[in-house]
């Protein structure tokens, strides 16, 4: 009964979404106010009904209702409670429902937090979000209904994919979808602005916090996925340039370009049509990624036929969204004025270069992901595009981005003088050169040139941003600490958010550089009692024993790790066989540290109590995710900037007293 209610709720949500797409827009075009005011209630209504459907599915999982096909395929009565909930998005249908829920949630959020926006703008934005929601709800109802029943009812479910029975992966998809779907808000603002023909600084200011929030979620989502891959896959990699990863990286890259370009549009009313194009691209790439992954074309052009219904639907949807929005763009964008003048040396130029580089990265990822398909489609032979190609291509561009990143934030809007920049940054530059020289002479570098370059670029980002902060506070009367606090609680949040995010980039560079060049990996066969020395750590293998988990059996190895004579860690890597079937899984054991991880992953039992296993020493690997976390934190700080808060405070407290006090 409840699953049918869920199904019904989805249908109602679709009806509401259709009304949401049509009425407010029609109202805004004809100036019919009552229709425009329908936007908010319809957005809330759609959210409520999708939420009902979602709760119905969660309920089916919690009660292990295996009469629902999707539950039977993705759950099991032995599954621990928290994973019964995360199993809701453990498969195709449920992840779509989660997607729709977030889509509706973002729509409701826009409705709730946009009180200070002109009604026609709100109406159009919510309309566009309704149109996108129609696509996803239809997709679900026509091809991927999560509430489909199964007869006869099986006594037991097939269990959630063991890989997904992990905390990191339980929260990774929601974060990622929040980011993907969040870009639909930026998209909706852009389309609404194109429809209204009013692209201005105000538009950029409205859509900027939404875009940044989406970007923050996407950053966290991608970092979580990378972290999960690192500890769960058992071979210590953190990025594989796999098509599915690339599919999430492309919207991130364009989204990063977008949040920078929005800054220019907000501050200087320049790059307007470019910013709109980026907003369209960021969301389109989110959809494209979904299409590529869902349809199966990436495996081979021929694999598309394996599930033509779903693939075809997404393809058509993709064509409507991308084609429609680009057509609108081509029609409207030429009317948009392109802002004021700026000099060769100016913040505008720096940000334009930033955009060029990020778009270049996106082109690389898109090209590399599609190249095998292109070659196959045109009979140019089979080529292999993987890890080595992507690494080379990215390394060719990344240093330029890092160099620019140290200069860009120091430049002034509109026009800057070379001598002023030189005077400001020479010390930071000299110090980074010093770091470059020192690291290339020290043992840190090994024989690879990339290590000193990477470290020096990170140092350059650190020093230049310290300089920029100092320069900002120089003219304040108080001491620097009070000045910074005052600045932070005043108008400075977006500035400090930027600094934090950019320092995250520096940290990320250090992590990538160190772990790529200095990690140590050993494949070994060990007998109980054996020990092995690696990177100054001694690993002692005490043997393996059988243990039982709630829904798996495992072999659990027992290791002591010594540094000198001191025992620093006790590790229990596991090899699990889930009762639901499938292949055995490795559960690596990691002793995490700020400067290094030591990592043991259990391979095969090779007889006589001996085990084949893999040991890793991973210097600075945490810095990769900490760097990403700093980037996300920076974004969050920037969004809390006073100029967005006052807008919101004004909307909730009409007197404006709250905003003035803050």
Partner 1 sequence: MPPALNLYPLLKMDPLIKMSCMIKSLLLGALLLLGSGSVSAYTLEEFQFDSPEQQTEFRELIAKLRCLVCQNESLAGSQAELAQDLRNEVYRMMRAGQSQDEILDFLVERYGDFVLYDPPLKPSTYLLWFGPFVLIGIAGFVVVRTILSKKRAADEPISASEQERLQALLDNSPDSPSSSSRST
Beta-bridge partners for 556: 545, 574
CB 227 within 8 A of CB 339: no
Among 360, 407, 615, 621, binds partner 1 (CB under 8 A): 360
Among 1, 330, 344, 655, binds partner 1 (CB under 8 A): 344
Q: Which residues of 351-377 are buried (b: 16+ CB within 10 A; e: fewer)?
A: bbebbebbbbbbebbbebbbebbeeee
Q: Kindly tell me which of 32 and 414 has the beta carbon lying closer to partner 1.
A: 414
| Stretch in the footprint of partner 1 (CB under 8 A) among 128-136, 170-178, 328-336, 628-636 | 170-178
- C-alpha 212/C-alpha 252 separation (Å) is 11
* Residue 262 binds to partner 1 (criterion: CB under 8 A): no
Minimum distance between the CB of residue 12 and partner 1, rounded to whole angstroms?
Answer: 26
Beta-bridge partners for 554: 547, 576
Q: Which two tokens mark 370?
A: 């599609």
* Residue 531 binds to partner 1 (criterion: CB under 8 A): no
Query: How many other CB atoms are there within 10 angstroms of residue 301's CB atom?
Result: 14
* Residue 243 binds to partner 1 (criterion: CB under 8 A): yes
Residues in contact with partner 1, counted by CB under 8 A, come to a total of 119
Among 7, 40, 84, 92, binds partner 1 (CB under 8 A): 92
Q: Kindly tell me which of 435 and 473 has the beta carbon lying closer to partner 1.
A: 473
Among 167, 331, 387, 595, binds partner 1 (CB under 8 A): 387
* Residue 517 binds to partner 1 (criterion: CB under 8 A): no
Per CB under 8 A, contacts with partner 1 among 301-320 are 303, 306-307, 310-311
Beta-bridge partners for 157: none
Residues in CB range of 398: below 8 A, 6 or more apart: none
Per CB under 8 A, contacts with partner 1 among 263-302 are 263, 270, 289-290, 293-296, 298-300
Map tokens 């907003």 to a residue.
279
- C-alpha 451/C-alpha 516 separation (Å) is 9
Q: Kindly tell me which of 308 and 323 has the beta carbon lying closer to partner 1.
A: 308
Among 59, 156, 200, 448, binds partner 1 (CB under 8 A): 200
* Residue 332 binds to partner 1 (criterion: CB under 8 A): no
Minimum distance between the CB of residue 234 and partner 1, rounded to whole angstroms?
Answer: 5
| Stretch in the footprint of partner 1 (CB under 8 A) among 12-20, 360-368, 439-447, 512-520 | 360-368
Minimum distance between the CB of residue 434 and partner 1, rounded to whole angstroms?
Answer: 28
Per CB under 8 A, contacts with partner 1 among 392-421 are 392-393, 409
Q: Kindly tell me which of 455 and 473 has the beta carbon lying closer to partner 1.
A: 473
Three-class secondary structure assignment of 234-263: CCCCCCCCCHHHHHHHHHHHHHHHHHHHHH
DSSP 412: P
Q: Which residues of 190-211 are buried (b: 16+ CB within 10 A; e: fewer)?
A: bbbbbbbeebebebbbbbbbbb
- C-alpha 202/C-alpha 189 separation (Å) is 11
| Stretch in the footprint of partner 1 (CB under 8 A) among 60-68, 223-231, 458-466, 478-486 | 223-231
Mark 416-455 with x for binding to partner 1 (rule: CB under 8 A) and - for no binding.
----------------------------------------
Per CB under 8 A, contacts with partner 1 among 31-50 are none
CB 542 within 8 A of CB 535: no
How far is C-alpha 596 from the chain's CA centre? 25
Minimum distance between the CB of residue 54 and partner 1, rounded to whole angstroms?
Answer: 16
Q: Kindly tell me which of 46 and 248 has the beta carbon lying closer to partner 1.
A: 248
* Residue 349 binds to partner 1 (criterion: CB under 8 A): yes
Exposed, middle or buried by CB within 10 Å (0-12, 13-18, 19+), for 254?
A: buried
Q: Kindly tell me which of 41 and 154 has the beta carbon lying closer to partner 1.
A: 154
Minimum distance between the CB of residue 594 and partner 1, rounded to whole angstroms?
Answer: 26
Map tokens 């600084």 to a residue.
201
Beta-bridge partners for 585: 576
Query: How many other CB atoms are there within 10 angstroms of residue 382's CB atom?
Result: 8
Minimum distance between the CB of residue 48 and partner 1, rounded to whole angstroms?
Answer: 26
Minimum distance between the CB of residue 498 and partner 1, rounded to whole angstroms?
Answer: 6
Q: Which two tokens mark 62?
A: 């919690």
Q: Kindly tell me which of 23 and 407 has the beta carbon lying closer to partner 1.
A: 407
Per CB under 8 A, contacts with partner 1 among 537-596 are 575, 580-586
Q: Kindly tell me which of 23 and 103 has the beta carbon lying closer to partner 1.
A: 103
* Residue 389 binds to partner 1 (criterion: CB under 8 A): yes
* Residue 241 binds to partner 1 (criterion: CB under 8 A): yes
Q: Which residues of 561-591 are buried (b: 16+ CB within 10 A; e: fewer)?
A: bbeeeeeebebbbbbbbbbbeeebbbbbbbb
């Amino acid at each position: 009964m409840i699953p049918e209610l869920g199904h019904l709720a989805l249908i109602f949500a679709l009806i509401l979404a259709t009304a949401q797409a049509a009425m407010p827009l029609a109202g805004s075009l004809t100036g019919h106010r009552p229709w425009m005011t329908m936007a908010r209630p319809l957005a809330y209504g759609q959210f409520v009904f999708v939420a009902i459907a979602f709760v119905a599915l969660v309920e089916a999982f919690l009660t292990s209702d295996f009469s629902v096909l999707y539950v039977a395929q993705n759950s099991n009565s032995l599954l621990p409670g928290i994973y019964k909930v995360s199993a809701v998005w453990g498969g195709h249908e449920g992840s779509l429902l989660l997607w729709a829920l977030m889509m509706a949630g973002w729509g409701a959020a826009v409705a709730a937090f946009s009180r200070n926006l002109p009604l026609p703008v709100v109406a159009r934005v919510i309309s566009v979000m309704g149109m996108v929601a129609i696509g996803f709800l239809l997709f679900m109802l026509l091809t991927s209904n999560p509430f489909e029943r199964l007869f006869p009812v099986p006594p037991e479910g097939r269990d959630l994919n063991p890989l997904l029975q992990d905390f990191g992966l339980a929260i990774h998809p929601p974060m990622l979808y929040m980011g993907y779907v969040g870009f639909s808000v930026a998209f909706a603002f852009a389309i609404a602005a194109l429809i209204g023909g009013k692209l201005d600084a105000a538009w950029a200011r409205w859509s900027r916090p939404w875009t940044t929030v989406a970007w923050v979620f996407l950053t966290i989502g991608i970092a979580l996925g990378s972290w999960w891959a690192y500890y769960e896959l058992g071979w210590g990699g953190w990025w594989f340039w796999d098509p599915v990863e690339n599919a999430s990286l492309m919207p991130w890259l364009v989204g990063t370009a977008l949040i920078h370009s929005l800054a220019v549009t907000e501050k200087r009313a320049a790059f307007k049509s470019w910013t709109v194009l980026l907003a369209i691209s960021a969301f389109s790439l989110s959809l494209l990624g979904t299409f590529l992954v869902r349809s199966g074309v990436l495996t081979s052009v021929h694999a598309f036929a394996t599930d033509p219904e779903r693939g075809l639907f997404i393809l058509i949807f993709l064509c409507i969204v991308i084609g429609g929005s680009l057509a609108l763009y081509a029609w409207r964008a030429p009317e948009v004025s392109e802002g004021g003048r700026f000099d060769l040396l100016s913040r505008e130029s720096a940000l334009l270069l930033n955009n060029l580089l990020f778009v270049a990265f996106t082109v690389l990822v898109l090209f590399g992901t599609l190249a095998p398909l292109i070659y196959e489609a045109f009979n140019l032979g089979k080529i292999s595009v993987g890890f080595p190609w992507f690494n080379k291509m990215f390394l060719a561009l990344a240093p330029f981005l890092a160099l620019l990143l140290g200069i860009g934030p120091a430049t002034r809007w509109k026009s800057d003088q070379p001598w002023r920049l030189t005077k400001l940054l020479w010390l930071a530059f000299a110090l980074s050169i010093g770091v470059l020289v020192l690291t290339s002479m020290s043992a840190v570098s090994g024989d690879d040139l990339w290590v000193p370059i990477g470290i020096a670029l990170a140092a350059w980002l650190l020093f230049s941003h310290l300089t920029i902060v100092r320069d900002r506070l120089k003219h304040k009367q108080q001491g620097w600490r009070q000045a910074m606090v005052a600045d932070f609680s005043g108008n400075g949040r977006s500035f400090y958010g930027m600094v934090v995010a950019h320092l995250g980039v520096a940290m990320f560079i250090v992590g990538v550089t160190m772990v790529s060049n200095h990690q140590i990996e050993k494949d070994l066969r060990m007998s109980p009692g054996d020990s092995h020395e690696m990177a100054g750590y001694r690993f002692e293998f005490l043997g393996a024993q059988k243990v039982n988990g709630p829904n798996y059996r495992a072999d659990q190895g027992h290791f002591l790790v010594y540094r000198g004579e001191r025992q620093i860690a006790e590790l229990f890597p596991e090899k699990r066989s889930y009762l639901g079937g499938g292949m055995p899984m490795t559960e690596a054991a990691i002793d995490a540290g700020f400067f290094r991880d030591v990592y043991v992953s259990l391979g095969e039992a090779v007889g006589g109590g001996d085990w084949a296993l893999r040991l890793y020493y991973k210097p600075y690997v945490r810095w990769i995710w900490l760097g990403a976390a700093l980037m996300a934190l920076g974004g969050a700080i920037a969004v809390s900037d006073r100029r967005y808060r006052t807008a919101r405070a004004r909307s909730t407290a009409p007197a404006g007293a709250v905003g003035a006090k803050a």
